[in-house]
Structure 1
C-alpha cells in the first residue's frame, strides 16, 4: 500500500471514528486531529515469515503525532499493520486525539487486512472507551489523558 493510499484511508477512517464517537460523548470534538499509537499490540511471533514483524515495536507508544507522522511510522516498505483499531481517545489542547492500536504483523496483501470487507482496509472503527460507570444510552465526557494534574506538575517542578 502506498503512503498516499494509506493517508486517504487514515483520513476516511478518522472521520468515521469521529462521527461514531459523537453518538457517545458530550465533548465538543474539534476537527483538528492528532494520533497516539500503540505499536505491536498483538505481540506476534517473529518467526512468522508471511509478514514483516518488528519485535522492537513491542510495548512502544508514540503520542500526539499528526497524520503525516502516522503514515511515515506505519507504512513501512509499502506494508501496513493488518489491523489498526481506531477510536476517539480524548480532547487535548483543542484537538481530537485518536488512539491507534496496531497489530505487529505488516503486509501489503489486502486480503490479510482484517477490515477489508468493510472498505476500511486494516482500520477497525471502534467506540471510545466507555467509563466503568457507563449507562447504556447516556453520553459521557472523555477525560483528557494528556493533561497533567497540579500534583504531577508540582512533582516535576521539585525534581529540577
Structure 2
C-alpha cells in the first residue's frame, strides 16, 4: 500500500470513528485530529513468512502525532499492519485524539487486512473505552472513562 492510499484510509477511518464516538460521549469532539500509537499489540508467530515483523517495535508507543507522522511510522516498504484498531480516546481544546492499536504483522496484500470487507483496509472502528459500570443508554465524558493508558 502506498502512503497516499494509507493516508486516505487513515483519514476516512478517523472521520468514521469520530462520528461513531459522538454517539457515546458528552464531550464536544474537535475536527482536528491527533493520534497515539501502540505498535506490535498482537502476539504474532514470526514463522508466518508472508508478513514482515519488526520485533524492535515491541513496547514502542508514540503520542500526539499528526496524520503524516502516523503514515511515516506505519507504512513501511509499502506494507502496513494487517489490523489497526482506531478509537477516540481523549479531547482537549484543540484536538480529538485517537488510539491506534496495531498488529505486529505487516503486509501489502489487501486480502490479509482484517477489515477489508468494510472498505477500511486495515482499520477497525472501535468505540471509546467505556467507564466502569457504564449504563449503555447514557453518554459519558471521556476524561472520566477508563482510557487505555500508554
TM-score between both structures, scaled by the size of structure 1:
0.87
The answer to whether the Cα contact below 8 Å between 1:46 and 1:54 also exists between their aligned partners in 2 is no
User: What is the CA–CA distance in structure 2 between the aligned matches of 1:131 and 1:65, rounded to whole Å?
Assistant: 25
Alignment length (residue pairs): 145
Aligned counterparts of 2:138 and 2:100: Cα–Cα separation in 1 = 25
The aligned residue for residue 148 of structure 2 is none
Q: Matched residues in 1 for 2:56 and 2:36: separation?
A: 18
Superposed CA RMSD in Å reads 1.3
The residue number in structure 2 matching 1:107 is 107
**Residues 97-119 of structure 1: per-residue CA shift (max 9 Å, x gap):** 00000000000000000000010
Which residue number corresponds to residue 85 of structure 2?
Answer: 85
Residue 11 (structure 1) shift: 0.5
Match of 2:59 in 1: 59
Per the alignment, residue 126 of structure 1 pairs with 126
Q: Is the 8 A contact 2:131 2:144 kept in 1?
A: no
Q: What SS class does the counterpart of residue 49 from structure 2 fall into?
A: coil
User: Structure 2: where are the runs of 5+ without partners?
Assistant: 146-150
SS of 2:90 mapped into structure 1: strand
What SS does the aligned partner of 2:99 have? Answer: strand
Q: Partner residue of 1:33?
A: 33
The gaps in structure 1 that reach 5 residues or longer are 146-160
CA distance in 1 between counterparts of 2:86 and 2:144 reads 17
User: What's the TM-score, normalizing by structure 2?
Assistant: 0.93
